[in-house]
A and B are shown apart, each in its own frame.
Chain A
Amino acid sequence: MLKLILQRFGAACFTLAFIAIVVFGAVELMPGNACTAYLGRDAKGAKLESCEKRLGLDRPAFERFGEWAGRLAQGDLGESVRRGKPITELVGWRLRNTIVLAVTALLFGIPIAIGLGVLAALRRDRPVDILLSTTAIFAMTIPEFVSATLLILVFSIGLGWAAGVVTVSYKAPVLDLLANSILPAVTLTLVLTAHILRMVRSSVIDVLESEYVLMAHLKGVPFGRIVWRHVLPNSLLPAISVIGLTMAWLLGGVVVVESVYNYPGLGRMAVDAVADRDIPLIQAIALLICGLYILSNLATDVLALMLNPRLRTYRT
């Protein structure tokens, strides 16, 4: 068990290192560099040279990678070209804000999805199930920028219940931030819930048709207990890995949702950095998002390991 977890952890570290190389290499392979991106493609002469000197771009790539990776390992993400500030400082708050948004969506989305998914499975092919399943498909297929716009139109402009745009500072305390970010959280929760709901539903249906559920029925176990003890633990296991995948999607969706609502998070900063061609910042954000992705996958893997008796009792 411990060995399996360590294996997963090792694999995660390896992946992260590999991604660092890819992110660095990708920028190297592109024509031009951070300075030409910043100054414009036609930049020449002393201005370019001084910029390159400032960023150390005049040295060989291997040397720079070594230095970059070395500082990275110490938590130093380098310096932004355009903003002239350490990236760690720029990104820190935004990272917190994005995590706050994502975690809120997960905290609401997962229980709702599991509850409704189980309900739909138990009422399979009846009106409740059909209503839930169709709604879920709608929620999944509508792109976030459309659902976000619709939500703003209805709840902010129409009804005036919630703010349509996040206006608080990126350094605002978590609760202030959340109070101003109801609609972004709802947008994310909606899609997240739809994905997990459908997975939970099909997984519960599979387990309901299994021989051990029939056997529990034939043992005279009351239905409620069958669902609680025999169905739920076994059907949530496959759902956990889907939740992991959904979290990966969440990190992508966050970029769009943050832009629409002007939410001061990592996603919006990424969009801004791309617009500014601030290459060191783009590198840092790409790396951070990959890191979050790997971390969430690792977390769900370990959770699945711990919930699966087959693996929990695994001995090497």
Chain B
Amino acid sequence: MSSSNKILAVDGLTIGAGGESEVAPVVDRIDLTLAQGSALGIAGESGSGKSTLLLAMMGVVKPGLELRAGTCRFGQLDLFAAPPAALEKLRGGRLALVPQNAGLALTPNIRIGDQIAEVLRYHAGPADQERHNAHIAELLALVRLPDPELLGRRFPHELSGGQLQRVGIAMALAGQPDLLLLDEPTTGLDVTTQLGILELLEDIRRKQGMAMVCVSHDLGVLARLCGDIAIMYAGRLVEQGPATRLLTQPAHPYSRALLASIPRLASAGIPTGIPGRPPAPDQALAGCRFAPRCRHADRTCSDVVPPSRDLTTGHLVACHHPQLGMEPGSAVAKLATRQHPGATEARLLVDGLSVTYQRRGLLPGLRQTQAKRALDRVSLILHRSEILGLVGESGSGKSTLLKALAGLWPVLEGRAVMDEHRDLTEPVQKRDRDSLRRMQLIFQNPDASLNPRHTIREILSQPLRLYFSLSRTEVEARASRLLGDVRLDASYLDRQPAELSGGERQRVAIARAFAAEPDVILCDEITSALDVSVQASVLQIIRELTQEKQVACLFVSHDLAVVNAIADRIAVLYRGQLVELGEARQVCAAPAHTYTRQLLAAVLEPPASGGGTVSGAPA
């Protein structure tokens, strides 16, 4: 790559905690270059340092961190040596960033239009108010926001998450950047919204010829958006190369394991996760940072930092023992064939259930006839040992159904029965203890659902003491057995949630739900807050436990691929109505409803494996 068309060059960039701390750097000796008009995707799990790297590309290091070594150049300008005035002119103009969470990145007291106007004011040169206003409306229309003139006068809190994300993009595009940096641009959006935004970005990039760097944990998104992909692990780039090649012929064991842990629509069954957890920041590792979790690691790996080397042109890997292709067998790894509930009993029966958005008011008759229905005559049956996946976008009513079943939301009409005689239309306050015990909920975010001041022992013994009369030693024994069920050893009993990783915390939440020996488990997006490599093991645990304890599980998720991996049957909710219900394989392979087809079409997956060939392996 000649230096003339290089727009961004990162050279030996190292960023770490300030002062004289021994803590491992957050971003460690990163080398990257980007050609004008090209798109690079940086993939990494939470804590890999990808967002810090992206901010450094704006010449910014967050407080608490400092630049330890290396440079980051935009064109000829060294971003960490440039005078503040030059940076001010550059940022928001030729170099712009789309924030991860536009809801937090937009100033609450300034109208949307005025926030975009700021960019124009400092970067688009002098123009009168009217031309700016027209330009702003144009930008808002460009990101396909409805009613641009009106929207510009709104405050951030008046917009939805998807709309805010579009505003974030419009604001970045206002300065007509040559390089656009995107931090998880579609995280938290519905799949169809996500697809719309990615198409839009692709379109604008092609038209305006700008370069892009996109950071995401989602390889499917990056595969769609970027020609090149770099994979980051614990602050280091482990592999980079053309997307099509890297995603089908990954060479680094981490990339291979990561790709293998992504659930795919084409292959039902739960993928394999990556055992272990990323190194803690204070953990000093002399060699490869992935070595402790790597199957192929040897002495060299733990002692010597693997240099980055070329496999083929442009495909670089930092590994002592690179092997091309997916982990053998892992991509098709499945749990033992699902035991289909043949002559099984119905654990949960929902018949014509309707729920309104409005809570019961003073005049129920008047209000509820007018109110929009959050759930409209939903009927389904959940059998023993069965996992029923419930998919739908935000606002489809999937969480409302869980709330209604748990008695946290009033039911308008219809029937919901557990174990053939327990009425679930009763609010939770009116249910007896046995009914409460038989239905357990697992929430999306274990950080919020586990008491941070309790030890795991206290967390697990609470339901045990509440529902069963057990002696102290019995409680202790059961608690450790429950931990064993979720593959954590008894030493975790004395720890607090903060000492656990996100995946481990979610496993504790699962153990707590199973502690009550329930008949029905309701899972609300339980893997959405987890990294893919961790997600697989959580899915596996849920699958095993429902089978083993003969529990019926209602598994709510926005992610069709995840649901397809774990569920026996899939139900699709759309605007409160159940539009499709069938065997998982059938729903994914031959969807009957148009909406299901739309959902399936919007699912982004990295291209499937080339099948373990080693054609390009170095001699």
How far does the alpha carbon of A262 sit from the alpha carbon of B162 in the complex, in Å? 64
Stretch at the interface among A67-75, A135-143, A228-236, A267-275: A228-236
Cβ of B389 under 8 Å from chain A:
no
CB pairs A–B below 8 angstroms (22 shown):
A209-B63, A210-B104, A211-B104, A211-B105, A212-B106, A212-B107, A214-B105, A215-B106, A216-B107, A217-B60, A218-B96, A218-B97, A220-B90, A220-B175, A229-B107, A229-B118, A230-B110, A234-B107, A234-B109, A309-B157, A310-B157, A313-B155
Q: Closest B-chain residue to A233, C-beta based? A: B109
Cβ of A219 under 8 Å from chain B:
yes
Chain B residues packing against A (C-beta within 8 Å): 58, 60, 63, 87-93, 96-97, 99, 101, 104-110, 118-119, 122-123, 155, 157-158, 171, 175
Q: Closest B-chain residue to A314, C-beta based? A: B157
Q: Closest A-chain residue to B62, C-beta based? A: A214
With known contacts A219-B119, A220-B122, A310–B88 Cβ distance under 8 A: no
Cβ of A174 under 8 Å from chain B:
no
How far does the alpha carbon of A298 sit from the alpha carbon of B93 in the complex, in Å? 45
Chain A residues packing against B (C-beta within 8 Å): 209-222, 225, 229-230, 233-234, 307-310, 313
* Contact yes or no, B108 A234, CB < 8 A: yes
In the complex, what residues of A have CB within 8 A of residue B109's CB? 233-234, 307-309
- Find the residue from B60, B63, B110, B175 having the highest chain A CB count within 10 A: B110
In the complex, what residues of B have CB within 8 A of residue A213's CB? 107
- Find the residue from A212, A230, A233, A234 having the highest chain B CB count within 10 A: A212
Shortest distance from the beta carbon of A276 to any chain B beta carbon, whole Å? 52
* Contact yes or no, A310 B90, CB < 8 A: no
* Contact yes or no, A220 B104, CB < 8 A: no
How far does the alpha carbon of A8 sit from the alpha carbon of B112 in the complex, in Å? 30
* Contact yes or no, B60 A219, CB < 8 A: no
How far does the alpha carbon of A160 sit from the alpha carbon of B255 in the complex, in Å? 80
Shortest distance from the beta carbon of A126 to any chain B beta carbon, whole Å? 14
In the complex, what residues of A have CB within 8 A of residue B63's CB? 209
* Contact yes or no, B88 A220, CB < 8 A: yes
Q: Which of B93, B107, B122, B157 contacts A222 (CB 8 A)?
A: B122
How far does the alpha carbon of A313 sit from the alpha carbon of B155 in the complex, in Å? 9
How far does the alpha carbon of A213 sit from the alpha carbon of B63 in the complex, in Å? 13
In the complex, what residues of A have CB within 8 A of residue B119's CB? 219-220
Q: Which of B90, B92, B101, B158 contacts A221 (CB 8 A)?
A: B92
In the complex, what residues of A have CB within 8 A of residue B90's CB? 220
How far does the alpha carbon of A169 sit from the alpha carbon of B122 in the complex, in Å? 59
In the complex, what residues of B have CB within 8 A of residue A217's CB? 60, 91
With known contacts A214-B60, A309-B155, A313-B158, A219–B108 Cβ distance under 8 A: no
Q: Which of A210, A222, A230 contacts B88 (CB 8 A)?
A: A222
Q: Which of A211, A225, A229 contacts B99 (CB 8 A)?
A: A211
Q: Closest A-chain residue to B168, C-beta based? A: A215
How far does the alpha carbon of A233 sit from the alpha carbon of B114 in the complex, in Å? 15
Q: Closest A-chain residue to B89, C-beta based? A: A220
How far does the alpha carbon of A9 sit from the alpha carbon of B40 in the complex, in Å? 58
In the complex, what residues of B have CB within 8 A of residue A221's CB? 88, 92, 118, 122
How far does the alpha carbon of A227 sit from the alpha carbon of B178 in the complex, in Å? 28
* Contact yes or no, B60 A218, CB < 8 A: yes
Contacts A217-B91, A229-B107, A230-B110 aside, 14 further interface pairs with beta carbons under 8 A come to A215-B97, A215-B107, A216-B118, A220-B89, A220-B90, A220-B93, A220-B122, A220-B123, A220-B175, A222-B88, A229-B118, A309-B108, A309-B155, A309-B157
In the complex, what residues of B have CB within 8 A of residue A230's CB? 107, 110
Please give me the 4 A-B residue pairs with the lowest Cβ-Cβ distance, nearest first.
Answer: A220-B92, A219-B92, A220-B91, A215-B105
How far does the alpha carbon of A229 sit from the alpha carbon of B109 in the complex, in Å? 9
Shortest distance from the beta carbon of A6 to any chain B beta carbon, whole Å? 19
Q: Which of B91, B105, B123 contacts A212 (CB 8 A)?
A: B105
In the complex, what residues of A have CB within 8 A of residue B123's CB? 220
Q: Closest B-chain residue to A124, C-beta based? A: B63
In the complex, what residues of B have CB within 8 A of residue A219's CB? 91-92, 96, 118-119, 122, 171, 175
Shortest distance from the beta carbon of A32 to any chain B beta carbon, whole Å? 49
In the complex, what residues of A have CB within 8 A of residue B92's CB? 218-221
- Find the residue from A209, A218, A222 having the highest chain B CB count within 10 A: A218
How far does the alpha carbon of A217 sit from the alpha carbon of B90 in the complex, in Å? 11
How far does the alpha carbon of A163 sit from the alpha carbon of B616 in the complex, in Å? 93
How far does the alpha carbon of A302 sit from the alpha carbon of B471 in the complex, in Å? 57
* Contact yes or no, A211 B108, CB < 8 A: no
